[in-house]
């Protein structure tokens, strides 16, 4: 009860404080009555240490450093250990496990459509809303960006993208070919959106995919860091961050040139720790870890002449606080429905007074595409301690005295550790109480493409890359005992054509595949043989993700009358002609007019 009363007390303050801010001369001035614009920039896999501001001796990030120094910098800001959970919490103000987001692929990244997103909040308050970059909270109706409140979308919805040069992106549901390097392209689209809507309030969300792998970056950035003696992987990552920094500078310069910066809140942060071992200060852990290094990220906020310039805030805060903070800063009418886990940081950001002891536990949990979801691994940070639960064991660190987490205090502070373990278990039970793992994909007359990495595979079938991340495909399928199936939820009964994309090496053709839906089964032969080439990739180092193939052959499995409701679509080998049935990319379900 003590924690709840303190949170309520914090929430009372901003209502009196927000009407005023310190101007450049230190005098109080009234905040503009109009709703400010918001530009929310999110980096992908940029660690706390990937900034020159944070002591990195190699990287150069002058624009991000400048943003931090001319606004407020939250020096203890926390997110989730992986991409999709962080994005769900930013968008909703709620812990990701409440939103249905538990991991990064296989549908476990899908956010419940009933969640209130920042885009829906801003749109309901008269804003134009746009997203330019990586969504990663669902790629099928009704979980896509345009379904969740965004008027404009250019980017991709899965966990990563395969090609950063002259690539094909999703523009409001249609694939378009782009020209140039992806971070430049996304920035140009964001600036165009701002230009188009500069007479209205706008919410512009720019979730860049840099510096997420694959490590692709233009030569001038890569060569710059190779010249500093860095290896190919670090040089490419720092080059990607350098390019992103320049693009952040383009956005800030545009806001300045047009006078929009005086009524625009700009926020920058990253979605988790670094995607590999590199400079990260003295923080323990990397992406995927629930220790400091996996969840502590940069957070800068600027609103010219409103937010104090050069202020730092050490009070711990988190991704769940962005939604309620923007709700208050922008003077928005709240949406009814879901409760918010975060609190508004408006008073902390705006005032020049003492920082407050929040006495909050800021939780983290990681799940690597395995089910069921368990307590392992999780943690929380409060004003003094980080409690960690992993490998069925609790650990405790005093961050005020040991920010590098060198000394585990749990053997000595057994009572405190036990109390923290109880709190962590209570939190986990609460946020997972309504969690369902129903990942059926909606089938409408618009049809749907079902990638194989979202399917359920029996053990004998193997992925090309191995993890089943986005864009992976089935490579090994050599037994009639194995099958692949998807669960769909048909919202309009009718006749649908089912086909699959396949590759089959010469000599392997002739295997027979059965496609079944309910009691209806149809069998076809895998013919003809067809195998394409891998698309040349400008990766600086071998990628962790699957590469792209230049072309896939379509195989018609048959027409099915599908009634409304949930069904399994299953494909099974009835006969294996030679070494392999086929390599499978996706299943496509297409509505046919009766």
- Which active-site residues does the annotation give? 83, 136
Residue 260: Cβ within 10 Å count: 18
Diameter over CA atoms, the chain: 81
CA-CA distance, 16 to 347, in Å (whole number)?
9
The residues, ordered by sequence, that sit 6+ positions from 397 with a Cβ below 8 Å of its Cβ are 385, 386, 388, 405, 407, 408, 409
Contact, 484 vs 457, CB < 8 A? yes
Residue 1 burial (CB < 10 Å; 0-12/13-18/19+)? exposed
Angle at the Cα of 532 from the Cα atoms of 528 and 538, rounded to 5 degrees: 170
The single-letter DSSP state of residue 147 is G
> What's the helix, strand, coil split of the chain in %, to 5?
25, 30, 50
Cβ neighbours, 10 Å, residue 9: 10
In 3-state terms, what secondary structure has residue 31? coil
Q: Tally Cβ neighbours within 10 Å of residue 370.
A: 12
For 590, the 3-state DSSP assignment is strand
Reading phi first (left if > 0) and then psi (alpha if -120 to 50, else beta), residue 554 is in beta
Task: For residues 269 and 206, give the distance between their C-alpha atoms in angstroms, rounded to a whole number.
Answer: 11
Cα gap 474→582, rounded to integer Å: 8
Q: Which residue has the tokens 């860091």?
A: 225
Q: Angle between the 83-92 and 322-329 helix axes, to the nearest 10 degrees?
A: 30
295: tokens are 């969840």
For residue 461, CA distances in Å to 68, 289, 331, 487 come to 49, 29, 53, 18
What residues contact residue 151 under an 8 Å CB cut-off, 6+ apart?
123, 128, 129, 130
CA distance 565 to 544: 38
């Amino acid at each position: 009860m003590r924690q709840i009363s303190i949170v309520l007390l914090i929430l009372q303050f901003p209502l009196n404080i927000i009407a005023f801010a310190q101007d450049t001369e230190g005098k109080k001035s009234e905040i503009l009555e109009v709703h400010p614009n918001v530009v929310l920039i999110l980096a992908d896999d940029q660690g706390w240490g990937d900034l020159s501001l944070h002591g990195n001796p190699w990287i150069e990030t002058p624009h991000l450093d400048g943003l931090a120094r001319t606004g407020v910098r939250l020096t203890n800001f926390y997110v989730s250990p992986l991409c999709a959970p962080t994005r769900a919490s930013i968008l909703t103000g709620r812990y990701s496990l409440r939103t249905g987001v538990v991991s990064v692929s296989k549908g476990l990244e899908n956010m419940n459509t009933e969640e209130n997103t920042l885009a829906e909040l801003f749109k309901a308050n008269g804003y134009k809303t746009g997203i330019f970059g990586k969504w990663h909270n669902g790629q099928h109706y009704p979980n896509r960006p345009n379904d969740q409140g965004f008027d404009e979308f250019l980017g991709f919805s899965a966990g990563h993208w395969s090609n950063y040069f002259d690539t094909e992106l999703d523009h409001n549901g249609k694939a378009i070919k782009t020209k140039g390097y992806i971070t430049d392209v996304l920035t140009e689209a964001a600036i165009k959106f701002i230009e188009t809507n500069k007479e209205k309030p706008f919410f512009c969300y720019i979730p860049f995919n840099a510096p997420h792998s694959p490590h692709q970056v233009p030569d001038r950035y890569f060569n710059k860091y190779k010249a500093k003696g860095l290896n190919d992987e670090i040089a490419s990552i720092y080059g990607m961050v350098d390019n992103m920094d320049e693009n952040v500078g383009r956005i800030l310069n545009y806001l300045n040139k047009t006078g929009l910066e005086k009524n625009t809140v700009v926020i920058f942060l990253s979605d988790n720790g670094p995607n590999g071992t590199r400079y990260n200060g003295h923080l323990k852990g990397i992406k995927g870890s629930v220790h400091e290094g996996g969840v502590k990220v940069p957070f800068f906020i600027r609103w010219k002449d409103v937010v104090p310039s050069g202020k730092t805030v050490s009070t711990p805060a988190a991704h769940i606080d962005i939604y309620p903070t923007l709700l208050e800063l922008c003077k928005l009418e709240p949406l009814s429905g879901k409760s918010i886990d975060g609190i508004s940081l408006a008073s902390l950001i705006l005032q020049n007074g003492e920082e407050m002891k929040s006495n909050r536990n800021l939780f983290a949990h990681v799940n690597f595409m395995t089910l069921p979801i368990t307590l392992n691994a999780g943690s929380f940070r409060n004003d003094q301690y980080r409690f960690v639960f992993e490998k069925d064991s609790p650990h405790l660190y005093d961050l005020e005295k040991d920010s590098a987490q060198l000394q585990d205090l749990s053997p000595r502070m057994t009572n405190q550790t036990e109390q923290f373990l109880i709190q962590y278990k209570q939190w986990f039970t609460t946020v997972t109480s309504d969690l369902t793992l129903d990942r059926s994909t909606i089938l409408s007359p618009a049809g749907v493409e079902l990638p194989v990495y979202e399917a359920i595979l029996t053990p004998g079938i193997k992925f090309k890359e191995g993890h089943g991340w986005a864009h992976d495909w089935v490579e090994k399928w050599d037994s009639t005992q194995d099958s692949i199936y998807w669960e769909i939820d048909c919202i309009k009964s009718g006749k649908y054509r089912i086909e699959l994309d396949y590759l089959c090496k010469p000599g392997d053709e002739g295997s027979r595949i059965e496609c079944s839906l309910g009691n209806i089964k149809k069998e076809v032969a895998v013919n003809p043989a067809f195998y394409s080439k891998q698309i040349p990739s400008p990766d600086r180092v071998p990628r962790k993700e699957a590469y792209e193939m230049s072309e896939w052959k379509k195989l018609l499995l048959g027409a099915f009358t599908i009634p409304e409701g949930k069904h399994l679509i299953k494909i099974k080998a009835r006969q294996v002609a030679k070494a392999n049935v086929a390599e499978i990319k996706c299943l496509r379900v297409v509505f046919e007019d009766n």
